[in-house]
Structure 1
Amino acid sequence: MALVTAVVLPAGPASAQSPDTQTNADAPPGYDVEEAQRIDRMLMCPVCPGQTIDQARVEISRQMRRVVREMLTEGASREQILQFFVDRYGTGVLAAPPKSGVNLV
């Protein structure tokens, strides 16, 4: 008699959506979705090594994506949004830190 083992994967709606899709559904109207996604790829998740906030599936990244969209809705520029996160997390939050000072190689 053969023993059969099944692997059950989660099939909920959240597992079928990308992080951007989840956040865009909750975001306020009136912002450029493509710009929001570009900014998401420029910000590193503070708790997921090597992942930007568009890749990470943790609560802090969802919150950061929400803030990006809220700031875009309020008319903030890309530079203002990135600076907002740098002020809170330091330059390490940038996927491509500025090439100046100690970051200059």
Structure 2
Amino acid sequence: MRLGTIVLAALLAAPPALAVQPDEVLADTALEERARDLSKNIRCLVCRNESIDESNAELARDLRLLVRERLVAGDSDAEVIAYLVDRYGEYVLLNPPASGSTLLLWGAPLALLLLGGGLAAAHVTRQRAVADDGLSDADEARLKVLLDEGRDG
């Protein structure tokens, strides 16, 4: 029992295995560190919610190599990101910037929730107004007749 607990704790505490292969690692440690930082913020287009730094997919490997290639060519971090976004769209970023399309995606659920709440409040208010008005004189007379017939019958 104790050994199982220790093994489980070790597995939960272990850092995630990174998919970067030894043949991908750059000799220049400063460039490699930049490549790793960039790779942690670029989405694997196959795995979707993993960064290319974590993914074992072949496309993720290709993207990791592309990032390193661009860095070796002298691109800045911003230029590498711009290159990838031009090529694959903002979806390639794990944390896309707040722009028109992303603001619309984030704001639409809130707008729909507010619209639904407003419609529900209007419906409840309308129902209360109808209930508070009561019956008209003609309706009350008709109801009295029906109730009297029910008692007599």
Q: Which bin holds the TM-score, normalised by the shorter protein?
A: 0.7 to 0.9
CA root-mean-square deviation: 1.8
Could you say what secondary structure the match of 2:52 adopts? coil
Could you say what secondary structure the match of 1:32 adopts? helix
In the alignment, does 2:105 pair up with 1:100?
no
Q: For CA contacts below 8 A with separation 6 or more, give which structure has more relative contact order.
A: 1
Identity of aligned residues (%): 33
Could you say what secondary structure the match of 1:97 adopts? coil
The alignment's TM-score, normalised by the length of structure 2, stands at 0.52
Kept in 2: contact 1:29–1:73 (CA 8 A): no
**Which residue of structure 2 lines up, in the alignment, with residue 13 of structure 1?**
none
Q: CA deviation at 1:88?
A: 1.4
Note the alpha carbon deviations across 1:33-92, whole angstroms, 9 max, x for none: 111001001110111121110111010000100011111111101111111111111101
Q: Distance in 1 between matches of 2:86 and 2:69?
A: 17
1:1-105 mapped onto 2 (5 Å cutoff):
18-20=18-20, 22=21, 25-26=23-24, 29-30=27-28, 32-104=31-103, 105=106
**Which residue of structure 1 lines up, in the alignment, with residue 147 of structure 2?**
none
Q: Distance in 2 between matches of 1:71 and 1:65?
A: 10
Q: Distance in 1 between matches of 2:36 and 2:26?
A: 15
Higher helix share: 2
Q: Mind listing any 5+ residue stretches in structure 2 that lack a counterpart?
A: 1-16, 107-153
Distance 1:28 1:59, change over 3 A: same
Q: CA deviation at 1:28?
A: 5.4
Q: Distance in 1 between matches of 2:54 and 2:25?
A: 18
Letter in 1 for 2:23: A
Could you say what secondary structure the match of 2:23 adopts? helix
Aligned residues: 87
The alignment's TM-score, normalised by the length of structure 1, stands at 0.73
Q: CA deviation at 1:102?
A: 2.2
**Which residue of structure 1 lines up, in the alignment, with residue 151 of structure 2?**
none
